[in-house]
Structure 1
Amino acid sequence: MTKATKLLPALPPPQRQLLMTAAREVSFPEDARIFEAGGTADRFWVIRSGSVSLDQQVTSVQRVTVASLGAGDLLGWSWLFPPYQWDFGAEAFSPVRAYEFDAAAVLKLCEEDQQLGLILVRTVAEILAHRLEMTRGKLMEQYGMRRRSAL
């Protein structure tokens, strides 16, 4: 399995500096809901410290964790694709410090610096591909465990 790509180190220094002009530092206490599936995706974060659980609501009372994110990880990609709604929910698993980016401001920067736009889209795509690979591995592992227990 490939190593997870981190958004900020993947950007060349000039594009990283440009992107950081749209950042602000935020924090979330442990157990804070950061966003809910179906909500408007108008921002994203790069986690500086702490951990965040991405989850999916499976019943009215049950959420299943689909991924855990930590320092350097991108939180939120739905701001980049229509209909600009979160596909998952996110909750701070511990106190979290992060850089928060306003999606509209970042998209404007990408229009002004097309190299930033291209690199950002490619990097987000690489991150999504890695997460899909990780999810596939987890599903195969769970399927294998269930199959063995049924025998």
Structure 2
Amino acid sequence: MAKAYQIGELARHVDVPVATIRYYEREALLPKPERSAGNFRLYSETHRERLVFIRQCRALDMTLEEISSLLALKDHPQKSCEQVNTLIDDHLADVTRRVAELQRLQKDLETLRLRCGSIKSVSECAILAGLSQPSASKRADIRKTQQS
């Protein structure tokens, strides 16, 4: 007989909260499990493998929609992997864009932090004064908007 896991056991095996497993079921990322005579959910090895896959995708910051697409492709192994490549390429482009945004944010924060070299009263705080003005990147965005 194949291994059957109750929800708590599956959660421990894959190191996710029970609520996450239930959520993935509601989102149709995990198929509904069989039920025991006592009406307990009974998960199979296939559920465990699928949950590991989902967890790996989440670790790569993929959205539930992206994961759903990958799972649909995984469920049809005879299909070309072109769609998988496209999905990963799109996700990589999104990550690259977000990294650039975070680098701009880091630069803005570093510039803001450089405004204060000594401890002063809050009324003289150059950081608070700086936060009351648009940053250089925001001013550039405002100029672009006004030119449009």
TM-score range with shorter-chain normalisation? 0.3 to 0.5
TM value normalised by structure 1: 0.33
The structure with higher relative contact order (CA 8 Å, sep 6+) is 1
TM value normalised by structure 2: 0.33
Highest Rg: 1 or 2? 2
Q: Which has a greater percent of helix?
A: 2
